[in-house]
Amino acid sequence: MKEKKEQTKIVKGGFRATLALLISVIALIISIMAYYKTADQADFNAKITDIQNKLENIKKDTSDRVNKIRQETTNVMDKLGIEIKRHEKKQDSPENQ
């Protein structure tokens, strides 16, 4: 009788290959997460820069407004001082005594 030899498929490194595939998939997932985190960081930095520019514009606008108010206050105080001096001169003049 002829005996049939059953061919058995020998898989070399089956566990190692599976482990390597699993590790590479995990590394791919980590790299994708890092990529998205970096992209989010770039968006965050762009937003910070935009907010800083807006803040600088607000500072400049506020400074301009404060300077305008100071100038107007100076003008009003000068006019008030002149009117007070006129009023005092009228009261101190010999005609009123």
Kindly state whether residue 23 falls inside one of the protein's structural domains. no
Q: Is there a domain that residue 52 lies in?
A: yes
Q: pLDDT grade, residue 96 (50/70/90)? A: low
Provide the pLDDT for residue 66: 95
4, part of any domain: no
Asked if residue 86 is part of any domain, the answer here is: yes
Domain extent for 55: 40-92
| DSSP type of residue 93 | S
Nearby residues of 55 by Cβ (< 8 Å), 6 or more positions away: none
65 part of a folded domain? yes
d(CA 11, CA 8): 9
Is residue 7 included in any domain, yes or no? no
Per residue in 17-54, pLDDT (tens digit) is 889 999 999 999 999 999 888 877 888 888 999 999 99
The Cα 72–Cα 78 span in angstroms is 10
pLDDT 10s digits, 48-73: 999 999 999 999 999 999 999 999 99
Q: Total structural domains in the chain?
A: 1
Number of Cβ within 10 Å of residue 32's Cβ equals 10
pTM over cut 0.85: no
Domain annotation covers residue 53: yes
63 in Cβ contact with 69 (< 8 Å): no
